[in-house]
Structure 1
């Protein structure tokens, strides 16, 4: 049995605007058992406050500090390294980076899921900053996410395009970066081998967790596609969060 649990959010707790069957009770069960808990997400379309508001509206009894997001990890990195970012991010996330958006003469490029802002003009600006020596910082390299029943392009393809064009390698601050998982573990006060990560993304959630030393559990909801589990030998498998909690916690 794990000593702490990390949960992905979209595709594990909810899909679109509805909680997945049994997931609210599953989180309540983890809480009642006293598990230290972190909800870890690469979501870069929403602020932490908005994520918390949405989860609360679905019935999840989660404290804001239990949410550990890629934007939060990115802010910490920028502040600790005193960087002035050019932020190619979603409009919904501007509030979380408002003070940094005013910085003159950017010396770092920050990429999140920018949606329609992934156009030629914005990518060209990022490209020239990278050519001038700015580091490329990504909130995640997820290829896609699921929204309204369809898979949508995430930030990963655009991060890879900039890497290729500028001949650089991005530093990833979200999943599957080992540093991201370690940041969550540090808050929980447990070692990697004591923690279980439950997610629907075979690459960012399960393989990322395994590479960081955590145990991984893949749930067959959200962006899961048949056969994904073959990519992560040794990972646990469950139909959904409710089954994962019942069997492994």
Structure 2
């Protein structure tokens, strides 16, 4: 039975500055069927309000309660552990961390800093770690689909480099962290056994969701997907479909089957 849906954004709902054909209709059909939706994104180049505004401009209305980001999880962690953030993130993400000033030390927060990933900034981050800062990784993604349609290095490569140099493991707060998936499910009172994840990243979206205990996860052939991705990581996708429209068809068929029984 499916009673809740988690959707990735980049590569599933939109691609660059364009909405993926059929995405708005697919989301509407899921909502009309009474299925609650949460959008779970590892995007760390834009703050939450900017992404919500972008979605609205693309014709998709999403409330703040429906949208989960690693920056939200990091802010919660920093508040609970009374740490102030040392940020190695994209400048557009900085507003999500305003007002934090913990008294029990620092925590290095690494996201997709883009052009800021140079020797000087990475070395400064390394020095914070060896001087006893905690280490928070917003997302471990290896790659993302860049504006030119090609894959580019994502934050995961730089998190791994800092782990190697400092001999300190990062606490990962976005996908594929089980806690991130479970936080989104808890917000709509949906059990793991009745949830499905839809993403374009076979590792962090799909295998990550299944490892977190979700019963089903679909891989779409849009965004960063490349032929053969469905066989590269374990567990494999429950199904691989062309796009979000096909994913909605699959989910609704499963949902309606259970509804009739």
Asked if 2 retains the 8 angstrom alpha-carbon contact of 1:28 and 1:61, the reply is no
Structure 2 Cα separation of the partners of residues 61 and 233 of structure 1? 31
| Structure 2 residue matching 1:99: 3-state secondary structure | coil
Could you give the per-residue CA deviations for residues 13-69 of structure 1, whole angstroms, max 9, x where no partner exists?
010011101111000111111111100001111111111111111111222221111
Structure 1 Cα separation of the partners of residues 250 and 173 of structure 2? 31
Asked if 2 retains the 8 angstrom alpha-carbon contact of 1:86 and 1:106, the reply is no
Could you give the per-residue CA deviations for residues 82-108 of structure 1, whole angstroms, max 9, x where no partner exists?
1111111101011111223x6789521
Q: TM-score, normalised by structure 1?
A: 0.95
Asked if 2 retains the 8 angstrom alpha-carbon contact of 1:70 and 1:139, the reply is yes
What is the match of residue 244 of structure 1?
247
Structure 2 Cα separation of the partners of residues 161 and 106 of structure 1? 23
Asked if 2 retains the 8 angstrom alpha-carbon contact of 1:85 and 1:110, the reply is yes
| Structure 2 residue matching 1:158: 3-state secondary structure | helix
- Give the unaligned 5+ runs of structure 2: 253-261
Structure 2 Cα separation of the partners of residues 30 and 158 of structure 1? 37
What is the match of residue 117 of structure 1?
116
> Cα offset for 1:248?
2.1
Structure 1 Cα separation of the partners of residues 207 and 192 of structure 2? 14
> Cα offset for 1:137?
0.4
CA change 1:105–1:126 in 2 (3 A) is farther
Asked if 1 retains the 8 angstrom alpha-carbon contact of 2:178 and 2:208, the reply is yes
What is the match of residue 2 of structure 2?
2
| Structure 1 residue matching 2:83: 3-state secondary structure | coil
What is the match of residue 25 of structure 2?
25
Structure 1 Cα separation of the partners of residues 48 and 84 of structure 2? 22
Could you give the per-residue CA deviations for residues 125-158 of structure 1, whole angstroms, max 9, x where no partner exists?
1111211222210000101111221212110000
Q: Which runs of 4+ in 1 moved over 3 A?
A: 102-106
Q: TM-score, normalised by structure 2?
A: 0.91
CA change 1:233–1:154 in 2 (3 A) is closer
What is the match of residue 236 of structure 2?
233
| Structure 1 residue matching 2:174: 3-state secondary structure | coil
What is the match of residue 225 of structure 2?
224
Aligned length in residues: 248
